[in-house]
Chains A and B, each alone.
Chain A
Amino acid sequence: MAHIPDGVLSTPVLITGAVVTTGLLAAAIRRLDFDRIPQAAVLSAAFFIASLLSVPVGPSSVHLILNGLMGVILGWAAVPAIFVALIMQAVFFGYGGLLVLGVNTMNIALPALLCAALLGPALRRSDGRFSLIWGAVSGAVGVLLTGTLVSLCLGLSSADFLPAAKVVLATYTPLMIAEAAVTGFTLGFILKVAPELITIPE
């Protein structure tokens, strides 16, 4: 549900999304050393694969976004990684669309950056149980923010979308649960097995 299709949003929202994403991409690419491209790309491929995982929650099942986790691990490099993944998901899987690429990237990448900035430092210092908790928090926050942004984009496009926007936000609940749980365990795993992965200097 994080991928808004084409033809839904209003032009001002589309343009805002495109501008924000272009700005984020430009800033991120300036920070991305050529030396770190293989790392960013391989991790981006890993996240792409992970999003194919269908996680059961209650009676339904969801596909993970993992933007909180991407932010914590990749930092700024999460922005182009998300952009690249969204291009591929749009053209090969039909998730999202072409003109909304900017909006969709913004909706997923902004929360990733926020998680990186707010939760990254605490996570790096934590261990044991706390890494699990901080991981879960970053998973939940990433999804919650994305859901909020998606609803906002809908609501800002047209007042008529407001009820639908609320329903969309509500559908994020199972995703938030799955994302929090999986991200928590993933970060617990990484901190135990290869802590250097999330302590990469920017």
Chain B
Amino acid sequence: MQLTLIEKESRNDRLRQFDPRLRLITALLFAMTVVSLHLIPLLLLTLLLALGMAWWIGLSGSLLLKRLLVMEGFMIVLLVMLPFSVPGESLFTLGPFNASIEGVQRALQIVLRANAIVILLMALIGTLEPVVLGHALGQLRLPDKLIHLFLFTVRYIGVLFDEYRRLRLAMRARAFVAGSNRHTWRTFGWLVGMLLVRSLERSERILAAMKCRGFNGRLYLVKQNIWSRYDTLALLLSLSLSGTLLLLEQTL
């Protein structure tokens, strides 16, 4: 299973020269800036910035849309409810309910913020190879055990996903069709149980393999990303951009 959002052949090297840590820091900075903004035009601008970045990196539009739709489920609830729950000047009425202009504004703000942040997150971090992301998190001084856990998880998601896919195929081959019934839930329960049981056995073999190579409590990560002048420059650029946005928010 491929986690990273960029297909191999369309891989765009535009961000390769930068340290992945820069990408992490920039995403965080962007998120913090965006949640501090309230003006709709500025939020629209950030959304455009995020979309521009996604386009520049070569994220496929259809994939992005598919991923965003998942989030919009949550958004729709807020979008539908907020205009009626926020008091303020009436925009229109629906039976006994009164939709306020302020409410629509709030809803719009939230939708723009959420989308801008998620798009930039996927563009900057989602296009990293998970292993590279793990290394970068390690260099950012997250606890060793957490990094190991992350890297191990990434390592075995692929293996287990293949197992899962083959089991699902075998179920289909025996005329299984998922429906809303006990038979389906029981079958899925067993499927999950089987995955877990096999995973546990695999983890025992992995630990044995680690012991065979003298495991004494840690992994050794070799790949070290190097922070270059360009990274500093890019960081300064994003800092000034977020400063400008915040300043505009204050003055406008």
Residues of A with Cβ closer than 8 Å to B? Answer: 1, 3-8, 11, 25, 29, 32, 34-35, 37-46, 48-50, 52-59, 64, 66, 69, 73, 80-81, 83-85, 87-88, 90-95, 97-99, 160-164, 167-168, 171, 178, 181-190, 193-194, 197
Contact = CB atoms under 8 A, between A and B. Distances in A.
A88 B117 contact: no
A115 to B, nearest CB: 16
B81 to A, nearest CB: 4
B117 A46 contact: no
Contacts of A73: 196
Contacts of B109: 7
Contacts of A55: 178, 184-185, 188
A182 B185 contact: yes
B3 interface: yes
Interface stretch (B11-19, B144-152, B234-242): B144-152
Contact of B193 (A161, A164, A189): A189
A54 B112 CA distance: 28
Interface residues of B, number: 84
B214 interface: no
Given A90-B121, A182-B192, A193-B193, A164 B77 contact: yes
B186 A185 contact: yes
A165 to B, nearest CB: 9
Interface centre among A39, A73, A85, A184 (most CB of B within 10 A): A39
Contact of B81 (A48, A49, A87, A163): A163
B61 interface: no
A87 to B, nearest CB: 7
30 contacts: A5-B117, A5-B118, A6-B35, A6-B117, A7-B113, A8-B110, A37-B145, A37-B148, A39-B200, A39-B203, A40-B149, A41-B152, A45-B156, A45-B160, A53-B192, A56-B179, A81-B149, A92-B122, A93-B67, A94-B67, A94-B70, A97-B114, A98-B28, A161-B81, A161-B82, A168-B74, A171-B77, A181-B189, A185-B185, A189-B197
Contact of B197 (A3, A34, A37, A193): A193
A48 B75 CA distance: 24
A45 B199 contact: yes
B47 to A, nearest CB: 11
A60 to B, nearest CB: 9
B138 interface: no
Interface string B65-97: 001101101110110011011100000000000
Given A6-B113, A162-B85, A167-B77, A46 B188 contact: no
Given A73-B196, A160-B82, A184-B189, A94 B122 contact: yes
A58 B180 contact: yes
A194 B5 CA distance: 36
B49 interface: no
Interface in B169-208: 178-180, 182, 184-186, 188-197, 199-204, 206-207
Interface stretch (B125-133, B225-233, B244-252): B125-133
Given A164-B81, A194-B197, 10 more contacts: A1-B73, A8-B74, A69-B192, A84-B153, A92-B122, A92-B130, A97-B121, A163-B84, A163-B85, A188-B189
Nearest to B157: A45
Contacts of B32: 99
Nearest to B43: A7
A159 B251 CA distance: 28
Nearest to B103: A160
B99 interface: no
B42 interface: no
A80 B142 CA distance: 12
B34 interface: yes
Interface centre among B4, B186, B206 (most CB of A within 10 A): B186
